[in-house]
Amino acid sequence: MGWRCTGLRWPDDRPELGWRKDGVPGARRASRLVYGQEIGFRAVGERRCAGARGNVCPVDAVVPARGTGARCPECARLDRAHSVAADTIADDPRTYRVYLAWFGPGMVKVGITAEERGAARLREQGAVVFSWLGRGPLMAARRTEELLRAALGVPDRIPYARKRVVRAALPGVGERTGEVAEWYGRAAALEGGGWPESLERLPFEAVDHGAVFGFGGAVEVARAVTGLVDGGVVAGRLVAAAGPDLHLESGAGGVVVLDTRLVTGWELRAADAGAGVSVPVVDIGGGGVQGGLF
């Protein structure tokens, strides 16, 4: 019985891949990742449902190779039913924080996260810079989030494909922090505009994840993995990571981005780190499929 990947996590300033062992309840482990290390793995068999809320799928369902959800319909419904993001929980007693997240020039969103999670949610989304806006009860945080989205004209979600493209031309720390400060100023200027009284305002303090993500310079990605296949290999040197994405330098093929949401549910075994990439990929620059091979 092999180990199946449970996805990429950011418990602190270093990413790690989670694993669970087939047929052994509670058997889990994590692999810490370090920039510069060589990574290589081969997918085996079929992709299986990742379950919901830490529980395994009761029927061990097979799920599509190219979906980022990695859950069967039943587990997806269960996971969604207990999701703060889906606005299905109104009586959560925890304290929540409202944040302003920046992913690239002009690419900003407002969101909320449980205070106990710290900045983990921001790292999971690949936010290059962020600042807290306020803290308070869930419903107050939710109302503030909706107010600011409407007033500032920012979206509730930004596709990962857009985030990846702008990483090749990120401005310096000072410029991006300055842009976040401008957005914070617009939000703070909405005095009397509907901010709930129970939400405590927090002062501006930009947190930059450039070094955490390994963005020492431009991160120009040539290709992106679109899904694994049985026997397919992904290998290379880890040069950066952001959100669910691993950026792998794969020889002459340049940098390939692997969205680890596509890896979740697969049994993975070690492969030669110099084996390159033999799974379906898409050319990010041209928008086509690599060499028409897949």
75-126 pLDDT, tens digit each: 999 988 766 655 556 678 999 999 999 999 989 999 999 999 999 999 999 9
Same structural domain, 107 and 192 = yes
Residues 18, 30 contacting (CB under 8 angstroms) = yes
Domain boundary (213, 238, 259) is at 213
Same structural domain, 223 and 135 = no
The residue count for the chain = 294
Beta bridge partners of 20: 4, 28
Residues 10, 123 contacting (CB under 8 angstroms) = yes
Q: What is the pLDDT of residues 282-294, one digit of tens each?
A: 988 544 333 323 2
* Backbone torsions φ then ψ of 40, nearest 5 degrees: -155, 130
Report pTM: 0.90
Residues 236, 39 contacting (CB under 8 angstroms) = yes
Q: How far is CA 72 from the centre of its chain?
A: 20
Same structural domain, 165 and 241 = no
Same structural domain, 40 and 101 = no
Cα-based distances in Å from 163 to 102, 157, 181, 220, 267: 10, 11, 20, 12, 28
pLDDT at 40 over 70: yes
Domain boundary (213, 239, 265) is at 213
Same structural domain, 157 and 198 = yes
Q: How far apart are CA 144 and CA 158, in angstroms?
A: 19
pLDDT-based confidence at 161, cuts 50/70/90?
Answer: confident
Domain boundary (160, 189, 213) is at 213
* Mean pLDDT score, 263-277: 92
Same structural domain, 120 and 197 = yes
Same structural domain, 117 and 51 = no
Residue 47: inside a domain, yes or no?
yes
What is the span of the domain harbouring residue 165?
A: 96-213
Tokens 């290998």 -> residue: 235
pLDDT of residue 88: 55
Q: How far is CA 231 from the centre of its chain?
A: 26
Residue 290: inside a domain, yes or no?
no
Residue 84: inside a domain, yes or no?
no
Residue 82: inside a domain, yes or no?
no
Residues 281, 225 contacting (CB under 8 angstroms) = yes
Same structural domain, 178 and 227 = no
Residue 279: inside a domain, yes or no?
yes
Residue 291: inside a domain, yes or no?
no
Same structural domain, 193 and 224 = no
pLDDT of residue 293: 30
Burial (CB count <10 Å: 0-12, 13-18, 19+), residue 77: exposed
Residues 69, 85 contacting (CB under 8 angstroms) = no
Same structural domain, 110 and 193 = yes
Beta bridge partners of 4: 20, 267
pLDDT of residue 235: 95
Q: Domain total for the chain?
A: 2
Residue 234: inside a domain, yes or no?
yes
pLDDT of residue 274: 84
pLDDT of residue 289: 37
Residue 35: inside a domain, yes or no?
yes
Same structural domain, 110 and 50 = no
Same structural domain, 251 and 206 = no
